[in-house]
Chains A and B, each alone.
Chain A
């Protein structure tokens, strides 16, 4: 290795003064009882509670994905007993992964843990509300799981009317109620972040010095606070429609099913940005650190994040090009959707420019970040294809769409979540993760992911519709490739689960700042003390100040 200047600093060395004294103060060791966890108002502990919960939901959603992929290995339906069962399977996979894993993933786990640490605060502005949001999340989640165990729902995660309101014989209302409940948890988290970032910043932490991770969560929170209530009222209307037949979405009673799609996508397109904007924040921390350079174009990065969150509210109609909305709406929505490409492009170019002439270090978090940049680019560019009216008519409701959004949600959001988890694992747990296994898992996930979802682009382009449980034999080769990739991907996801758990006992203790990173969260012990900072820090430097960083401070 030629990077002699920095390499020593990146080595995980045991803390020079490990011992019971340092240990007794940290947020994990401060109290051990179950009650102290379930009634905690410490943002760090609530982050951990969220981490455990969403891992459970990710596992359940993953099992469903496995069943779907196994079913699709052969052109005939054989694993599942009927098409109805298959419908329920992909519906529940979607609902769990979107509402119970992706939306809370980075904000509720890493955001909860890191935002107060990054801005120099002792906690979020409303600690009790934060705990409440976790309880609401769990109530909504357990409720939805209970519904799935007692029959489930088959409408697709989109709950499209009139199928959901008039024809489906499954538990539509109960599932929608679960989603409704969990929406409040999302709103409360977003509200808490907005207020915290506004009022809790340490002296000197100006808006221009705010880490981009916080900017990303600020933008995400705006979407959560402004978008989620519209979903809530839509779900209420759907429930009333189904129970009372009031006719808002029923053409027979003078209503219009398309209105449901408008209201649903008004939330659910911005929801995509709830899932992916926090990933941008994670990338903005990892890439400068492992390139040893300040982030390129800080202001443009922050501006691009805000621009995406706001543009996201103006593009919902691109889900409805073939739904019967007017051609002119379609054209306007297409143009607005293409505009999202501009800030997204700024981000990708700026990440690349950050690495340019930097010392790029291939630690595990960086591998995930690099994977994200590539996969997000593919996902984003195919998104532009789908936003173009003419192409969309051809590939609408095919596997092309499925592949596109999995590139954004798995290749993007999930990779960034894993990258962030590795990057901050030393801070969260106080232990290093095994670098060798980390790299292996990252590579396996990257390969498995591409093998799973790239063939689906081809499938979709050749005309394989989504949500079908039987298909023509000529598609089988691509489906088998996809299933094989999914098996590799599953292994890749299991490895980190194992070594993260084992690292709690067998890995070396993490120093305060194992990566030589900037940011206030790295100035406190690993794991951080329960009250975060002994004294409120005073910020005097710009963010990502890696230029003057060639001397080891420790």
Chain B
């Protein structure tokens, strides 16, 4: 950071990036950092469209089968989903603190917070797996073994709609979306956990600097995104009509 203009720009954005090695094609660390962050944002834009496609399909079917989706949604456990939401938001806080730690040049904080993020992420997947096993046990997985009987009160809960008997095909459709969307989300979580683990090990072995926020911030962006997807999935799937 001998160049005064670079040093000025770096301090102006309160960014400490001198610890990350500068690749040959960049002029200065600021440019390198901006490229990396913008690259992650562009990637997240593709992810938004990826989940957007499936959420659009979900919206279409929910609009034409409101009673079925409401009834089916009540077989899910809003409590477990709610706990999971808190767990995931907690992990977002942890990763944010890790980024903060890297800005403050606190290696220990970074490692602890990344570890906590992974712990909470794994807990989320554990609770999710437990939920799935319950639903498999109740024959709610789409396919030949799918079984659903409208419970007493479910039809009345949606009495405001012109409700006839539920179309079981559309009830099953809800579970198609439920398993696909939560499965896709879990897949992204697993990838995120793998990246976090690599990052943790690299920092632990001092292959990557804990200070110099670039890698931590970029992984953090991805992790926040995965959390936000869940923040959309939870009301879409669990909270259609809470009694």
Q: Which residues 427-465 of A sit at the B interface, judged by CB distance below 8 A? A: none
Which chain A residues in 205-249 approach chain B with CB under 8 Å? Answer: 225-230, 232-234, 237, 240, 244, 246-248
Q: Are A244 and B143 in contact (CB under 8 A)?
A: yes
State whether A226 and B57 are in contact (beta carbons under 8 Å apart), knowing that A126-B35, A240-B180, A246-B142 are contacts in the complex.
Answer: no
Q: Could you tell me how many residues of chain B have their Cβ less than 8 Å away from some Cβ of chain A?
A: 33
CB atoms of B173 and A248 under 8 A apart: yes
| Residues of A contacting B: mostly | helix
Query: Is B31 engaged at the interface, CB distance under 8 Å to the other chain?
Result: yes
Assess whether B60 is interfacial by the CB under 8 Å rule.
Answer: yes
Q: Are B169 and A253 in contact, with the CB atoms below 8 A?
A: yes
- Within 8 Å by CB of B46, from A229, A248, A259, lies A229
- In the bound complex, residues from chain B placing their C-beta under 8 Å from that of A247 are 142, 169, 172-173, 176
Q: How far is the CA of A189 from the CA of B22 in the complex (A)?
A: 22
For the complex, what is the distance from the CA of A191 to the CA of B50, rounded to whole Å?
A: 15
Chain A interface: which of B37-45, B77-85, B191-199, B208-216?
Answer: B37-45
Q: In the complex, which residues of chain B have a beta carbon less than 8 angstroms from the beta carbon of A226?
A: 45-46, 49
Residues on A with C-beta less than 8 A from B35 are 125-126, 195-196, 198-200
Residues of A contacting B46 in the complex (Cβ-Cβ under 8 angstroms): 187, 191, 225-226, 228-229
- Cβ–Cβ < 8 Å partners of B180 in chain A: 237, 240, 246
B53 and A229 contact, CB distance less than 8 A? yes
**In the complex the two chains form, what is the Cα distance from A232 to B180 in whole Å?**
14
CB within 8 Å of A: which of B32-83? 34-35, 38-39, 42-43, 45-47, 49-54, 56-57, 60, 65
Scoring A residues 110 to 121 as 1 if CB is less than 8 Å from chain B, else 0, what string do you get?
Answer: 000000000001
The distance in angstroms between the C-alpha atoms of A232 and B50, with both chains bound, is: 7
Per the bound structure, the CA–CA distance linking A194 and B51 in Å amounts to: 21
Interface size on A, residues (CB 8 A): 41
Q: Is A3's beta carbon under 8 Å from chain B?
A: no
> How far does the alpha carbon of A536 sit from the alpha carbon of B26 in the complex, in Å?
11
Residue on B with the closest CB to A193? B42
Contact string against B for A residues 493-525, beta-carbon threshold 8 Å, 1 for contact and 0 otherwise: 000000000000000000000000000000000
* B19 located at the interface, meaning its Cβ lies under 8 Å from any Cβ of chain A in the complex: no
Counted as pairs of residues, one from A and one from B, with CB atoms less than 8 Å apart, the total is: 98
Expressed in whole angstroms, the Cα–Cα distance for A187 and B43 within the complex equals 8
A187 to chain B: which residues have CB within 8 Å?
46
In the complex, whether A20 has a CB less than 8 A from a CB of chain B is no
Is the CB of A93 closer than 8 A to any CB of chain B?
no
Interchain nearest-CB distance for A79 vs B (Å): 40
Does B170 lie at the interface of the complex (its beta carbon under 8 Å from any beta carbon of A)? yes
State how many angstroms separate the Cβ of B30 from the closest Cβ of chain A.
9
Query: Is the Cβ of A199 less than 8 Å from the Cβ of B170?
Result: no
Nearest to B23 among chain A residues (CB) is A127
Verify if B243 is at the interface (C-beta below 8 Å from A): no
The answer for the CA separation of A226 and B43 in the assembled complex, in Å, is 9
Chain A, Cβ-Cβ closest to B49 = A229
- A374 sits at the interface (CB 8 A): no
Interface residues of B in 159-183 (CB under 8 A from A): 167, 169-170, 172-173, 176, 180
- Asked if A254 and B25 make an inter-chain contact with CB atoms under 8 angstroms apart, the answer reads no
**Across the interface, which residues of B come within 8 angstroms of A129, CB to CB?**
39
Q: Assuming A191-B42, A240-B180, A246-B142, is B60 touching A256 (CB within 8 A)? A: yes
Residue from A121, A125, A240, A256 whose CB has the most chain B CB atoms within 10 Å: A125
Q: Is A263's beta carbon under 8 Å from chain B? A: yes
Which residues of B are found within 8 Å of A253, using beta-carbon distances? 169, 172-173
Shortest distance from the beta carbon of A42 to any chain B beta carbon, whole Å = 10
Q: Taking the complex as formed, is A123 at the interface, i.e. its CB lies under 8 A from any CB of chain B?
A: yes
A404 located at the interface, meaning its Cβ lies under 8 Å from any Cβ of chain B in the complex: no
- Residues of chain B with a CB closer than 8 A to A254's CB: 65, 167, 169-170, 172-173
Q: Produce 1/0 per residue, A453-495, CB < 8 A to B.
A: 0000000000000000000000000000000000000000000
The answer to whether B31 and A200 have CB atoms under 8 Å apart is: yes
Q: A191-B43, A226-B49 are in contact. Are A255 and B173 (CB under 8 A)?
A: yes
**For A228, what are the chain B residues with a Cβ–Cβ distance below 8 Å?**
46
**Complex: how many Å from CA A227 to CA B46?**
8
The one of A125, A230, A232 in contact with B39, judged by C-beta atoms closer than 8 angstroms, is: A125
Contact between B53 and A234, CB atoms less than 8 A apart? yes
In the complex, how many angstroms separate the beta carbon of A129 from the nearest chain B beta carbon? 8
CA distance A225 to B46 in the complex (A): 5
A-B contact pairs, 6 of them (CB 8 A): A125-B35, A191-B42, A199-B31, A229-B46, A254-B167, A256-B60
Question: What 20 new A-B contacts, CB under 8 Å, besides A227-B49, A240-B180, A247-B172?
Answer: A126-B35, A126-B39, A191-B39, A195-B38, A195-B39, A199-B34, A200-B25, A225-B42, A228-B46, A233-B51, A233-B53, A237-B57, A247-B169, A247-B173, A253-B173, A254-B65, A254-B173, A256-B60, A259-B57, A263-B57
